[in-house]
Chain A
């Protein structure tokens, strides 16, 4: 799985209430959640995001509520992948289950500025900052989870296997 696009750099501890505020949880269908992505962090964020952009986050990305709407909102906003120093546990599971590509790269925040072109190759386990010509190893994902992610999430994964 390869994704390439310009970066948006986020700080440490971006929680799921910031990714998708509670008021949208059962009122907005999944496909429309992208319009509210990261609204709790920056009300104008969704206006700045284009299809294929890459989120670069600090530590503990997606902490807080178990709401699956968080990775879905990011996916529906067209974001190609999230690269973070570390992910909160439930967000990590949810992202794989909904087919949002995620990559854990400790220290990545220091090596990326907004709009740098980032290439994520999950199969090779590499993230590249194309703009700065630097590359980084991804903390490897177990093969079983990579399979789910490559299929586009648990639902298509199960369908394919049937």
Chain B
């Protein structure tokens, strides 16, 4: 490996150059994985043809998951999915995950696609999630997808990197999502536009893999191109026996330079929310406690791993959802759903009054299911609360624990009061 930050080293390796590239430089890189889903693959397939390519250059690197519109909400979508299912066979794409398998990012994490040092280009902005494993993973659009499908390569601009040092452990009742929201408050939605973020420090070892996913996932909301954790023993243990590619740990060199460095005291955190309508509109749960809640939604690539659902279920602890509040739980993958069934969590949540959805994105982006009405308030474990994201209502982003406490009370509730 060359010198430089993780981003510089991975991009240099994938561009086949020896020297560390300078931030701002454009490199043509070959990704290890090309990710797309039911929304992006259809236009991506057409763009590829319009760009003049009949064949996918590297079908063995393509991952396609039907996750956004599952089960299909309308005729057009079903038609497009049918076309895609044929295209996959025609092009020899084998890493195909049909409707019901789960969210692309969660599937990839769970099945060992996301590995340290790999380069993942995904036609989905939350591709940054795979930084949890030390991958350089970033989102692209449909024409870019067409280009990388057709050629197996793409130009990328080498980013500057911010270094964040995490100190200490999460206090009781405080979740990795609160840490993610705390970082959001620091960086804001503009703090890392086109940059990479590296997470270092003793606090990292205290974070489980699914918690790192939550944090890496939110970095795109800071404008970041990638957000990366250094792989450690936990990463290796997780990948043991299931990594899809041989991997090499990438460590920033001593000469790596950073555009900023900040120390973040994890211990000082309290339960947080992002209030409507911006992901950096952060306040304490306490400050909005008592706000009446119409819908609680647990799911999305930000918070739907088995660990997240388990935290939510533990907090519910046999309680029921308050009258007048809907609870929707959508596991990130089929495997997570099976674990929910095996451990009795599904029945516990159904008895509590929950609706359990098909593994996938669920109501996250307002295209089907769980649409909010005018004036409705949703507490959700997702990553976006933009105006109109889930219909005309208001979204508060929160942790699974805050979501559970709020579901029980029918109003936004500090989980430490329930613990």
* A residues in contact (CB < 8 Å) with B: 12-13, 15, 17-18, 21-23, 25-27, 40-41, 59-60, 63-68, 86-90, 93-94, 97-98, 142, 144, 153-155, 158-159, 162
Contacts and interface: CB of A to CB of B under 8 A. Distances in A.
Given A22-B366, A60-B223, A154-B51, A86 B141 contact: no
B41 to A, nearest CB: 11
Contact of A23 (B80, B141, B144, B367): B367
A153 B143 CA distance: 9
Contact of B43 (A27, A68, A154, A159): A68
Interface residues of B, number: 41
Contact of B389 (A22, A63, A66): A22
CB-based closest 3 A-B pairs:
A97-B143, A94-B141, A40-B388
Nearest to B192: A89
Given A25-B39, A155-B50, A90 B193 contact: no
B141 A60 contact: no
A26 B69 contact: yes
A26 B42 contact: yes
B218 interface: no
B82 interface: no
Given A88-B223, A93-B140, A97-B143, A26 B39 contact: yes
Contacts of B52: 158-159, 162
Nearest to B142: A68
Contact of A22 (B43, B142, B278, B367): B367
Which among A41, A90, A142, A153 has the greatest number of chain B C-beta atoms within 10 A? A90
Contact of A18 (B124, B367, B386): B386
Interface of B: 26, 39-40, 42-43, 47, 50-52, 69, 74, 76-77, 80, 123-125, 139-144, 147, 155, 189-190, 193-194, 221, 223, 225, 278, 365-367, 384, 386-389
Contact of B365 (A27, A65, A153): A65
B141 A90 contact: yes
Contacts of B225: 89
Contact of A60 (B39, B193, B389): B193
B48 to A, nearest CB: 10
A87 B189 CA distance: 12
Nearest to A142: B26
